[in-house]
Amino acid sequence: MVDFAFPPGQAPGILGELLTDRQAEDEGHILIPQDAGDRTMQLASDYAKAADWLWYSSGEVTIDEAPLFHERRRLCLSIHVPEANELVEAGETVDLSVLVFPTRGVGVATAWIDGSPDDPWSRKDALWQMHESRWDLFEPTRVLRDTLDIERHYPFLAVQLDVDDLEGYRDQNAERIATWLTGGYEDESSAHRRKEVSGGLNLSQRSYEQLFMRWTDALALYRVVDPGTYQLTKLRAAQLFEYCVLTRRLFRSEARRVARRSRQVGAQTVPIVAPGWREANRLLVAFTQAELELVTAPPVASVEAQRLVDAALARFGIPELIADTRASYQLLDQRLQWIRAQWLAVIAVVAFVVNAIIAVAKG
């Protein structure tokens, strides 16, 4: 996965084209090209079904209650790779997903690359070392080409294990499994590795799933189940990770906008009338709405989903990020109120002088 930013309201590439072509919209918030093949249609269907495990459907939450939830759009594509590159073999098909909040100008792009029977750490390490080749996968979509900013990649690794007792296997192989999450690049101690994948940090309560997240990586472990269950559960976990990445990116981008606006708002800014004043107030309203909908009261579909979302946001440090961002918003709000008070004082003085002149003239 990779997060990215673009000019608000101007989604790039195929995604932007589909957003203006209403015939391309499938059920809910998923967009697919009109000439999409069966694989893309199945991918879109699986994403939609997995989303229902986390969120209310659009018809169950009004646009006034959850405007961000209603505006989100996901692009699904399956790209045939004719020539081999460092990531995939020639003739393979790679499934792509791009999720955005169009009016906020943030998104997260995901490329699904099949693994091999090799050790999962080896596969993750190989993909990490081929950093630049990842852009090639999204080239046909033109989505990432014109984006303003890309912060980082977020590896999501899903592993199926042929074991009956998934929890027991995790405990017995904790140090090795921890490297599937962390990459092993931090030269952690044995005790720290075991802690990273301890039962207390497992987000899932399902017997066939173990789910671990931190703000840089995610690891989902599964014992062998039927392919349909595995696909939907894996996509549910991936969408939970996406949600946290997108939320983090949104608040970081909004914080930058606030910082820029704070520098631009000064004593010369006329309250209510000046565009800078209206934009600053719009930012304050947008922050409040995003905090309410994404963190305080997201439109989750069940108790299980609520617990997953709350725990994942905590692992990402989202509450702390919001607290820091809110401080910037409060400074901007205080600055606006100070400017308003200064202008009211000026208006009061002008009114007093005008009344005095009128009184003298009449006298």
Taking alpha carbons only, the member of 126, 127, 115 closest to residue 159 is: 115
pLDDT given for residue 34 in this prediction = 82
For 149-186, the pLDDT digits (tens) are: 788 889 999 999 999 999 999 999 999 999 899 877 77
Query: Model confidence at 277, in pLDDT bands (50, 70, 90)?
Result: low
Taking alpha carbons only, the member of 98, 94, 78, 105 closest to residue 29 is: 98
Distance CA 282, CA 341 (A): 19
Does residue 286 or residue 261 have the better pLDDT?
A: 286
Taking alpha carbons only, the member of 53, 93, 55, 60 closest to residue 76 is: 93
Query: Model confidence at 260, in pLDDT bands (50, 70, 90)?
Result: low
Task: Find the mean pLDDT for residues 106-123.
Answer: 83
Does residue 135 or residue 212 have the better pLDDT?
A: 212
Taking alpha carbons only, the member of 210, 240, 12, 213 closest to residue 107 is: 12
Taking alpha carbons only, the member of 321, 337, 162, 168 closest to residue 249 is: 321
Q: Is 50 exceeded by the pLDDT of residue 273?
A: no
For 299-310, the pLDDT digits (tens) are: 999 999 999 999
The sign of the dihedral angle between the CA atoms of 19, 25, 31, 34 is negative
Q: Is 90 exceeded by the pLDDT of residue 66?
A: no
Question: By percentage, how much of the chain surpasses pLDDT 70?
Answer: 76
Question: By percentage, how much of the chain surpasses pLDDT 90?
Answer: 38
Instruction: Kindly state the tokens that stand for 309.
Output: 């979302």
Q: What is the distance, to the nearest Å, from the Cα of residue 281 to the centroid of all Cα atoms in its chain?
A: 24
Distance CA 281, CA 287 (A): 10
For 6-39, the pLDDT digits (tens) are: 988 888 888 888 887 654 444 558 888 888 889 9
Return phi, psi of residue 71, to 5°. -85, -15
Does residue 286 or residue 82 have the better pLDDT?
A: 286
Annotate 118-172 with DSSP letters as a single string: S-HHHHHHHHHHTGGGHHHHHGGGTTTTT-SB---B--EEEEEE--S-HHHHHHH
Q: What's the chain's length in residues?
A: 363
Return phi, psi of residue 163, to 5°. -135, 155
The sign of the dihedral angle between the CA atoms of 45, 48, 50, 56 is negative
CB 197 within 8 A of CB 140: no
